[in-house]
């Protein structure tokens, strides 16, 4: 995207926000503190399912997230679609009930709030949703949408002294807010369909501001918008933060957006935070291989970099129903650690692990490979096809013998046994234990950082090749509950063609 403001402007905004953080916090007390947050969705869990004898299955959308957000700062939460960002945002606001964990807001345990306390919390902490098309009720005027929260909270508490009714007061407040977000007060009686996407998002922001919150979850607030409009909305959000001393949790999958608006970033993968730290540290010296891959997927502005190799991140995205053991990223990681008994180029190790992973997840059968071959039951051609598919051609010695053995078993239609053979010989230390976040202010959950023993000081070229070019990785798809990889570009980018009309700042 084009930058929302000049780099200097962004830096100033960040510095101001950091100053505000320090000033308001009086040090280091977080406004929001999340510990061990879990949210599992249960499927096949209805009475009907039980009558049919179906076992409930859990989708581990959020699986032990720790976060802190300090007053006045913006914490970015990033990751591919489906990694649990929205669920985290909604659960910490108690819009969804958590499965486990604690959330403290200004020292209070949000999970334990009584109804009255929850009502007060809802005034202090709000949300702006991603999709300005579905998040506004089409039957309500924007005035009613913006002032709805005031009405629900029975505001103003007393009748205004100037003789206005409470309703008139609320309408005036809605007018003020519409103007503040760049719309015109006389649009108050219009309906959402009369506005462009960018303007609707302004309405969503005005609604979130109505109760004078201190903290707002911004759930991909610009990803459904045209690029030129994204910059305006981001600038508006930054201005509002400065003016009202707001604290943001900014959810995004687009890292170029995050870089300009966030003070710190938490990177999520399959329901967990895998890296967290100051924005500049994350961008300039990422630690986790997943963060590196995400950063490589950001489009480059410079001409030299545009021609760089950009390949898909290797391996399919696992299902949150049954995440991989140990490090969840190991099935795609270009730096996955080899066992002590194996020492082969990383690219080849990745290939062997990809083959095994596909077999374990029943990603293909021997029969499906045979069907692609022209020659009848030619085992040599069968093995050749798989060597090519999984980049196994350069193997030699004992490693090659083992892989050839597994391919032979596979050619005979014994998929499980072939996977067992590969597991016995090649199991990675990364699959034994789940890594924990370590490293202080800039922390990563990766065995490469947790244990020197594993740090083999990999040759960066090898690593680049191993991930199908870590030097240029593109997220090919999105995590989905069933493990399928959704086609890129078929979701949130429903850009409103009217957006370019909005380039004047929204007011019409
Ligand atoms: N109500 C639900 N029931 C079952 N699974 C769900 C439900 N809501 C979300 N999920 C699953 O939980 C996982 C996390 O979803 P979530 O929407 O939090 O991810 P996300 O990172 O915000 O993705 P996106 O950017 O696409 O919104 C996904 O696998 C998703 O399919």
CB distance 274 to 326 below 8 Å: no
Least confident of 14-18, 151-155, 205-209, 297-301: 14-18
Q: What's residue 43's pLDDT? A: 81
**Rounded to the nearest whole angstrom, what is the distance from the C-alpha of residue 84 to the centroid of ligand 1?**
6
Q: Indicate whether residue 84 lines ligand 1 (CB < 6 A).
A: yes
Q: Give the Å distances, CA to CA, from 169 to 157, 164, 173, 210, 374.
A: 11, 6, 6, 12, 77
Q: What is the mean pLDDT of residues 215-235?
A: 93
207 Cβ contact partners less than 8 Å away, ≥ 6 residues apart: 145, 146, 148, 149
3 state SS of 507: coil
pLDDT over 90 (residue 430): yes
pLDDT value, residue 228: 87
- The pLDDT, as a whole number, for residue 316 is 60
Whether the Cβ atoms of residue 267 and residue 291 lie closer than 8 Å to each other: yes
Q: How far apart are CA 352 and CA 111, in angstroms?
A: 45
Q: What residue ranges in 106-179 does DSSP mark as E strands?
A: 108-109, 125-128
pLDDT tens digits along 143-181: 999 999 999 999 998 889 888 999 999 999 999 999 999
Cis, bond preceding 64 (omega within 30 deg of 0)? no
Q: What is the DSSP string of 84-109?
A: SHHHHHHHHTTSS--SEEEEEETTEE
Highest mean pLDDT: which of 74-78, 131-135, 159-163? 74-78
Tens digit of each residue's pLDDT (9 = 90 or more) over 241-273: 999 999 999 999 888 889 989 999 999 999 999
pLDDT value of residue 16: 40
Looking at ligand 1, which residue's alpha carbon is closest to its atom 12?
61
Residue 190, token pair as written in the block? 């219009």
Task: Give me the pLDDT at residue 394, please.
Answer: 84
Question: Is the separation of the CB atoms in 263 and 17 below 8 Å?
Answer: yes
pLDDT value at 14 more than 90:
no
Q: Read off the pLDDT of residues 33-44 as tens digits, 9 standing for 90 and up.
A: 999 999 999 887
% of the chain with per-residue pLDDT over 70: 79
Please tell me the predicted confidence (pLDDT) of residue 11. Answer: 39
Nearest CA to ligand 1 atom 10: 61
Q: Residue with the nearest Cα to atom 24 of ligand 1?
A: 81
**Is 83 touching ligand 1 by the criterion CB < 6 Å?**
yes
In this structure, of 67-81, 207-221, 306-320, 378-392, the range with the lowest mean pLDDT score is: 306-320
| CA-223 nearest atom, ligand 1 | 25
Q: Specify the residue for token string 């083959």.
A: 355
> Do 221 and 130 touch, CB atoms closer than 8 A?
yes
Whose CA is closest to atom 16 on ligand 1? 84
The number of angstroms, rounded, from the C-alpha of 188 to the middle of its chain's C-alpha atoms is 34
Strands 100-105, 32-43: pairing kind: antiparallel
Closest CA to 213 of 145, 149, 141, 134: 149
- State the distance from the centre of ligand 1 to the C-alpha of 500, rounded, in angstroms: 31
Q: Name the residue with the closest Cα to ligand 1, atom 25.
A: 81
Q: What pLDDT is stored for residue 83 in this prediction?
A: 92
Alpha helices in 181-325 (DSSP H): 197-209, 227-244, 255-261, 279-284, 289-296, 303-306
pLDDT higher at 453 or 280 = 280
Is there an atom of ligand 1 within 6 Å of 86 CB?
A: yes
Q: Which pair of structure tokens corresponds to residue 441?
A: 């202010």
Is the pLDDT score of 288 beyond 60? yes
The atom of ligand 1 lying closest to the CA of 83 is 21
Q: Distance from the CA of 82 to the center of ligand 1, in angstroms? A: 5
Question: What is the whole-number distance in angstroms between the Cα of residue 484 and the centre of ligand 1?
Answer: 14
Q: What is the pLDDT of residue 314?
A: 59
Q: pLDDT per residue over 445-493, tens digit each?
A: 999 986 544 444 444 444 333 333 333 333 333 344 433 333 333 333 3
pLDDT score at 467: 34
Is 60 exceeded by the pLDDT of residue 418?
Answer: yes
Q: Is 330 a residue whose pLDDT tops 50?
A: yes
User: Can you tell me the distance from the alpha carbon of 3 to that of 227, in angstroms, rounded to the nearest whole number?
Assistant: 9
Q: Is 439 in the pocket of ligand 1 (CB under 6 A)?
A: no
The rounded Å distance from CA 224 to ligand 1 centre is: 17
Could you tell me if 243 and 16 are in contact, meaning their C-beta atoms sit under 8 angstroms apart?
Answer: no
Least confident piece of the model among 307-311, 429-433, 442-446: 307-311
Local confidence band at 281 (pLDDT 50, 70, 90 cut-offs): very high
Q: What is the pLDDT of residue 46?
A: 73
- Using CA atoms, how far apart are residues 330 and 324, in angstroms rounded to an integer? 8
Angle of helix 142-152 versus helix 197-209 axis, rounded to 10: 20
CA quadruple 131, 134, 138, 143: dihedral sign? negative
Q: Where in the chain are the domains?
A: 32-297, 346-427
| Cα dihedral: 382, 385, 389, 390 (round 10) | 60
From 49, 86, 135, 493, mutation site for ligand 1 pocket: most ligand atoms within 8 A of C-beta: 86
The atom of ligand 1 lying closest to the CA of 491 is 26
Structure tokens at 259: 């870089």
- Distance CA(203)–CA(181), nearest Å, equals 8
Report the residue among 82, 95, 478 best suited for mutation to probe ligand 1: largest number of ligand atoms under 8 A from its CB. 82
Tokens 């402007």 belong to 9
Whether pLDDT at 301 is above 60: no
Distance CA 280, CA 264 (A): 8
Measured from the Cα of 90, ligand 1's closest atom is 18
Distance CA 474, CA 489 (A): 13
Does 85 contact ligand 1 (Cβ within 6 A)?
yes
CA of 96 from ligand 1 middle (Å) equals 12
Q: Crossing angle of helices 346-360/397-411, nearest 10°?
A: 20
How high is the pLDDT of residue 313? Answer: 60
- CA–CA gap between residue 259 and residue 257 (Å, rounded): 6
Tell me, using a 6 A CB cutoff, whether residue 481 lines ligand 1. Answer: yes
* Residue-wise pLDDT tens digits, 338-349: 999 999 999 999
Q: Percent of the chain having pLDDT more than 90?
A: 63
* Helix (H) or strand (E) run with residue 21 in it: helix 7-25
Comparing 141 with 22, which gets the higher pLDDT?
Answer: 141
Q: Which CATH superfamily hosts domain 32-297?
A: P-loop containing nucleotide triphosphate hydrolases (3.40.50.300)
Unique residue bearing structure tokens 């090659």: 400
Pocket flag, ligand 1, residue 196 (CB < 6 Å): no
In the predicted structure, residue 17 carries a pLDDT above the cut 70: no
d(CA 436, CA 433) in angstroms, rounded, equals 9
Name the residue at shortest CA distance from atom 2 of ligand 1.
Answer: 41
The dihedral of CA 367, 428, 267, 123: what is its sign? positive
Q: Which ligand 1 atom minimizes the distance to the CA of 480?
A: 29
Q: From the CA of 125, how far away is ligand 1's center (Å)?
A: 22
Does the ipTM exceed 0.95? yes
Query: Could you say which DSSP state residue 438 is in?
Result: B
Whole-angstrom CA distances from 231 to 201, 284, 316 are: 13, 23, 33
288: left (phi over 0), alpha (psi -120 to 50) or beta: beta
Q: Which atom of ligand 1 is nearest to the CA of 62?
A: 14
Centre of ligand 1 to C-alpha 119, Å, is 26
Q: What is the mean pLDDT of residues 389-412?
A: 92
How many Å lie between the centroid of ligand 1 and the Cα of residue 59?
Answer: 9
């Amino acid at each position: 995207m084009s930058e929302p403001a000049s780099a200097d402007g962004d830096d100033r905004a960040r510095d101001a926000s950091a100053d505000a953080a320090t000033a308001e916090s009086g040090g280091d007390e977080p406004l929001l503190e999340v510990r061990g947050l879990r949210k599992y969705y249960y499927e096949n869990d209805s009475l009907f399912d039980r009558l049919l004898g179906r076992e409930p299955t859990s989708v581990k959308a959020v699986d032990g997230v720790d976060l802190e957000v300090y007053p006045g700062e913006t914490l970015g939460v990033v990751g591919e679609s489906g990694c649990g960002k929205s669920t985290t945002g909604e659960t910490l606001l108690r819009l969804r009930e958590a499965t486990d964990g604690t959330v403290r807001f200004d020292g209070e345990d949000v999970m334990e709030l009584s109804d009255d306390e929850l009502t007060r919390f809802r005034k202090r902490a709000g949300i702006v949703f991603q999709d300005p098309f579905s998040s506004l009720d089409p039957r309500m005027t924007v005035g009613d949408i913006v002032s709805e929260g005031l009405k629900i909270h029975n505001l103003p508490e007393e009748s205004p002294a100037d003789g206005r009714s409470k309703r008139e007061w609320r309408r005036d407040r809605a007018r003020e807010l519409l103007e503040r977000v760049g719309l015109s007060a006389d649009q108050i009686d219009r309906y959402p369909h009369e506005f462009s996407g960018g303007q609707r998002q302004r309405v969503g922001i005005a609604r979130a501001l109505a109760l004078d919150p201190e903290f707002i979850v911004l759930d991909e607030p610009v990803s459904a918008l045209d690029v030129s409009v994204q910059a305006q909305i981001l600038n508006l959000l930054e201005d509002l933060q400065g003016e009202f001393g707001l604290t943001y949790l900014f959810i995004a999958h687009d890292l170029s957006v995050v870089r300009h608006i966030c003070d710190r970033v938490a990177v999520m993968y399959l329901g967990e935070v895998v890296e967290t730290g100051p924005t500049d540290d994350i961008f300039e010296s990422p630690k986790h291989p997943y963060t590196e891959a995400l950063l490589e997927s950001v489009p480059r502005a410079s001409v030299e970099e545009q021609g760089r190799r950009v390949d898909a991140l290797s391996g399919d995205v696992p299902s949150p129903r049954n995440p991989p053991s140990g490090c969840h990223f190991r099935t795609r990681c270009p730096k996955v650690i080899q066992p002590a008994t194996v020492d082969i180029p990383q690219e080849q190790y990745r290939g062997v692990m990809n083959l095994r992973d596909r077999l374990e997840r029943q990603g293909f059968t021997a029969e499906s490979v045979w069907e692609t071959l022209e020659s009848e039951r030619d085992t040599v051609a069968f093995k050749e096809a798989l060597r090519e598919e999984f980049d196994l051609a350069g193997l030699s010695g004992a490693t090659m013998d083992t892989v050839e053995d597994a391919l032979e078993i596979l050619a005979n239609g014994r998929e499980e046994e072939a996977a067992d053979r590969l597991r016995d010989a090649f199991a990675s230390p990364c699959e034994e234990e789940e890594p924990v976040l370590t490293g202080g202010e800039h922390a990563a959950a990766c065995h490469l950082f947790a244990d020197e023993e594993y740090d083999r000081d990999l040759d960066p070229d090898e690593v680049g090749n191993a991930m199908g070019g870590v030097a240029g990785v593109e997220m090919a798809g999105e995590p989905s509950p069933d493990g399928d990889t959704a086609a890129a570009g078929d979701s949130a980018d429903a850009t409103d063609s009217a957006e370019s009309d909005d380039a004047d700042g929204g007011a019409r």
